[in-house]
Amino acid sequence: MQTRTLGHSGLKVSALGFGCMGLNFGYGPGPGKQEAITLIREAFEAGVTFFDTAEAYGPFTNEELVGEALAPIRDQVVIATKFGFKDGNSQTGMDSRPERIRAVADAALKRLRTDRIDLFYQHRVDPDVPMEDVAGTVKQLIAEGKVKHFGLSEAGVQSIRRAHAVQPVAALQSEYSLWWREPEQEVLPTCEELGIGFVPFSPLGKGFLTGKIDASTSFAKDDFRNIVPRFTPEARQANQVLVELLGKIAAARQATPAQIALAWLLAQQPWIVPIPGTTKRHRLLENLGAASIDLQQDELRQIEHALAHIQVQGDRYPAHLAARAGK
């Protein structure tokens, strides 16, 4: 697989990464532990060198899973993890106090079975801790060799600038896809200006852009899509028009809707690295096939023209989660 460099950081990764969250968190029951470990290693064999986890996924169990899976090939991969929630639990609010960041780093190193964290993200901006203190703490961890690069997740432009002034931000991770394009307004131009890489999570619209979800689809009781306004049956029905568009373009390219959605992201900027996740080997290989699809300018114009006439229905988060993003 081709590689990409995240902004001016020098951090080189595969053009498509692997989002590990769904292997045991967020989307209902995942595969068994051994099956998940096998899938992560198959992703590496297929060319993926960039793996994304967080202490909050579980909490803690996802990092342990990723650490065990990647231990034999640790020096050949880039591992990203995150800090920022009280006790590692995304339900209990923010905690990016310097002492907490340090504690998370030390605990994550043990769970990941490594001596350094390649990319350490603040999971969400903590309104109670100055960004300068957060960035300064990570800067110290970098000086100590425990962390290699600093990242932010779902941060707004002012937070990005304040952090970057203290410790260069290697990457910003936020949701970005054909059905959530808000980062194009301010965040992506800021990343380009400052030389920050961009890592889209949910690049397939939490599965919707694969074309495998419709108004009749039911989710497991602990699947967080049950509380997402964009996934009400009515919204799913209204948003099928976007999937139909992808299907037409995909058919012309002998590709799948998911591959076109990922190829579109890759075509936006050379410093954008999407991190689709999956629990199935055939979906993994399908996703990675997108890296070899080079959308032409006329195809990109066709998509842009069609999107201009499509109004995606439903908010991407319920209100209590939306309040955490873009700070």
AA letter at 80? A
For residue 173, the tally of other CB atoms under 10 A from its CB is 25
The catalytically annotated residue of 27, 57, 121, 176 is: 57
Structural contact between residues 16 and 276, judged by C-beta atoms closer than 8 angstroms: yes
Question: Strand ranges (DSSP E) for 93-251?
Answer: 117-122, 147-153, 169-175, 197-201
27 a catalytic residue? no
Measured CA angle at 288 (ends 11, 4), to 5 deg: 20
Whole-angstrom distance, CA of residue 142 vs CA of residue 122: 14
CA distance 52 to 17: 8
**Three-class DSSP labels, 230-248:** HHCHHHHHHHHHHHHHHHH
Q: How far apart, in whole angstroms, are the C-alpha atoms of residue 291 and residue 259?
A: 8
Neighbours of 94 (CB within 10 A): 20
Q: Which residues are catalytic?
A: 57
